[in-house]
């Protein structure tokens, strides 16, 4: 069992209430947290520990899917939650916090083990870590450990990410830095490797001899909501492509690791990024499409355009949609295009990977039926979780007809089979010291190297925004991007 203190900077914020506290409670209810655990929320607001505990209970009972919530258990775990008011920039404040942590260490026998969770705006990451260190909050006394968890965005380009990494690495070794990409905590993300490497069926076909192309989609129906301030400086390229979408790509395209330890898996993932050649400006123009939603309609609901959203400039050139074609330049994938797309205000919320196998040979049935559908494997990440395999079979009846049929595995279709939130798994891994589902520095580095080229090219050219209406599948150019290759985007909405 894990004895530890968890210190959450930015502990009064939305992320902490919606994700972290429910996840901690979930672990406790599942018997995965010991009695020797306490949590300190550090924030700038005035608040007592009692008020803080009450807020946690309210947010947990209001909108989490923790099941079942027994009041006694909830009281048990929240009785170990504390609030500590501290200005992120006050050196004295950190000294005092250190004394408070020591008291809790003794009270809960947490042995000096600490998780510092930075749920603060990125500009505070470096300064907070520096003060954690100078106030001696990382005792590192032989048997104890201290880890830091960093929320995204990890920088906004390679230079800022490298600077941030330098600041953090002065205090924490790479093995104690946990960079969150919450997609990695999703059940089906972890299943991609299992589907690929625990079956004899797929892996032999997982290459350019049998696969025509791969489509990776992550679409959302929501707009920027109340995050305009952040999103204006980010856009879909940095907000989704640089991290979640490239993670999906890595897991799909990586070679089998030599074993399942965290370094071996991440070694293979990063090789995929290294095999992406950074695009020239001409390649960016040809292979990457950006879009921004304008006003639209969803049923009888009017949807605002991005430029009309709160804290967004009315002339904003920030993209809310990106589609791209890229090639993974290695022996396995030579000649196989990967089409990636992500956007806000799309017709449905879905994340999936579609593996389109090559066309069946043009003999035998082909003569009679002109065209047979290719085999298709779709790994569904969310909201439906599962895998769908399409193949050809004879349609029953006197006539000879061939139709595509499917085997469909859905792991969350049964009521009550809802997967736990990604943060539950991620927090558990932080506490037990397994960083496999976190982003290693070289992954961050290579992903920015690739993304920066695109961002730079876009800086130099003005987009024609808005170019799709809210509730639609992105701009016309995205359709052209794939149709130019005589392929089509899949209809990805889950109709169930
Ligand atoms: C976040 C992005 O990382 O992922 C958001 O900042 C996006 O803009 C979200 O909405 C999507 O996550 P999920 O789990 O809802 O697909």
- On average, the pLDDT of the chain sits at 93
Instruction: Determine, yes or no, domain membership for 216.
Output: yes
Number of Cβ atoms within 10 Å of the Cβ of 204:
10
pLDDT of residue 255: 98
pLDDT of residue 114: 97
pLDDT per position as a tens digit, 75-98: 899 999 999 999 989 889 999 999
When mean pLDDT is compared across 240-249, 268-277, 339-348, 398-407, the lowest value belongs to: 398-407
* Ligand 1 atom nearest to CA at 152: 3
CATH at residue 356: 3.30.360.10
pLDDT of residue 60: 86
pLDDT per position as a tens digit, 456-485: 999 988 899 999 999 999 999 999 999 999
- Residues 243 and 380 occupy one common structural domain: yes
Q: What is the mean pLDDT of residues 151-176?
A: 95
- Give the whole-angstrom CA distance, residue 351 versus residue 382: 5
- Residues 117 and 234 occupy one common structural domain: no
With bands split at pLDDT 50, 70 and 90, how would you rate the model's confidence at 2? confident
- Residues 320 and 246 occupy one common structural domain: yes
Instruction: Determine, yes or no, domain membership for 286.
Output: yes
**Overall domain count for the chain:** 2
With bands split at pLDDT 50, 70 and 90, how would you rate the model's confidence at 66? low
List own/partner pairs for 59-68 with CB under 8 A and 24 or more apart: 59/17, 59/18, 59/21, 59/22, 60/21, 60/22, 60/25, 63/18, 64/22, 64/25, 64/26, 64/421, 65/418, 65/420, 65/421, 66/22, 66/25, 66/26, 66/29, 68/29
243: CA distance to ligand 1 center in Å? 10
- Residues 253 and 104 occupy one common structural domain: no
Instruction: Determine, yes or no, domain membership for 177.
Output: no
- Residues 212 and 64 occupy one common structural domain: no
- Residues 122 and 258 occupy one common structural domain: no
pLDDT of residue 366: 62
244 is catalytic: yes
- Six-digit token pair at 155? 């920088």
| Position 126 pLDDT exceeds 70 | yes
pTM above 0.85, yes or no: yes
Q: Which domain holds residue 23?
A: 4-151
Query: Is the distance from CB of 306 to CB of 318 less than 8 angstroms?
Result: yes
pLDDT per position as a tens digit, 308-324: 999 999 999 999 999 99
Domain boundary among 151, 173, 193: 151
222: CA distance to ligand 1 center in Å? 10
- Residues 142 and 203 occupy one common structural domain: no
- Residues 310 and 406 occupy one common structural domain: yes
- Six-digit token pair at 358? 């090559």
- Residues 41 and 128 occupy one common structural domain: yes
Non-local (6+) Cβ contacts of 452 within 8 A are 157, 158, 278
- Residues 131 and 236 occupy one common structural domain: no
344: CA distance to ligand 1 center in Å? 10
| Position 496 pLDDT exceeds 80 | no
List the catalytic residue out of 3, 182, 244, 446. 244
Say how many CA atoms lie within 13 Å of 44 toward its Cβ: 10
CATH at residue 131: 3.40.50.720
């Amino acid at each position: 069992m894990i004895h530890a203190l968890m210190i959450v900077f930015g502990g009064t914020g939305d992320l902490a209430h919606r994700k972290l506290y429910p996840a901690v409670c979930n672990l406790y209810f599942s018997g995965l947290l010991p009695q020797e655990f306490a949590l300190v929320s550090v924030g700038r607001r005035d608040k007592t520990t009692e008020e803080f505990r009450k807020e946690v209970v309210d947010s947990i009972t209001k909108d989490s899917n923790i099941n079942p919530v027994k009041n006694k258990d909830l009281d048990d775990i929240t009785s170990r939650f504390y609030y500590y008011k501290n200005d992120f920039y006050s050196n004295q404040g950190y000294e005092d916090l250190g004394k408070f942590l020591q008291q809790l260490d003794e009270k809960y026998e947490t042995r000096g083990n600490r998780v510092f969770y930075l749920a603060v705006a990125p500009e505070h990451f470096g300064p907070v870590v520096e003060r954690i260190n100078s106030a001696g909050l990382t005792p590192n006394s032989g048997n104890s450990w201290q880890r830091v968890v960093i929320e995204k965005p990890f920088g906004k380009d390679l230079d800022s990410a490298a600077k941030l990494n330098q600041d953090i690495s002065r205090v924490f070794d790479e093995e104690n830095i946990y960079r969150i990409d919450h997609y990695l905590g999703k059940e089906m993300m972890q299943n991609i490797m299992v589907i690929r490497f625990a079956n004899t069926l797929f892996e032999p076909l997982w290459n350019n001899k049998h696969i025509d192309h791969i489509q990776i989609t992550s679409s959302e129906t929501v707009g920027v909501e109340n995050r305009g301030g952040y999103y204006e400086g980010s856009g879909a390229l940095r907000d989704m492509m640089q991290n979640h979408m490239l993670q999906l790509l890595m897991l799909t395209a990586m070679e089998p690791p030599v074993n399942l330890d965290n370094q071996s898996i991440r070694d293979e993932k990063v090789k995929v990024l290294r095999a992406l050649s950074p695009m020239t400006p001409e390649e960016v123009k040809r292979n990457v499409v950006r879009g921004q939603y304008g006003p639209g309609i969803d049923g009888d609901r009017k949807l605002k355009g991005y430029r009309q959203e709160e804290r967004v400039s009315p002339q904003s050139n920030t993209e809310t949609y990106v589609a791209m074609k890229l090639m993974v330049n290695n022996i396995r994938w030579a000649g196989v295009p990967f089409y990636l797309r992500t956007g806000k205000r799309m017709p449905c919320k879905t994340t999936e990977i579609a593996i389109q196998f090559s066309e069946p040979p043009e003999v035998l049935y082909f003569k009679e039926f002109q065209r047979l559908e290719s085999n298709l494997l779709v790994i569904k990440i969310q909201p439906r979780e599962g895998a769908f395999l399409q193949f050809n079979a004879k349609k029953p009846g006197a006539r000879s007809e061939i139709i595509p049929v499917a085997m469909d595995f859905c792991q969350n279709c049964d009521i009550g089979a809802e997967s736990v939130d990604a943060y539950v798994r991620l927090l558990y891994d932080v506490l037990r010291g397994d960083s496999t589902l976190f982003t290693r520095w070289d992954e961050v580095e290579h992903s920015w190297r690739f993304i920066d080229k695109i961002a730079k090219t876009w800086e130099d050219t003005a987009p024609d925004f808005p170019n799709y209406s809210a509730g639609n599948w992105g701009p016309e150019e995205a359709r052209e991007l794939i149709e130019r290759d005589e392929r089509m985007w899949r209809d990805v909405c889950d109709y169930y």
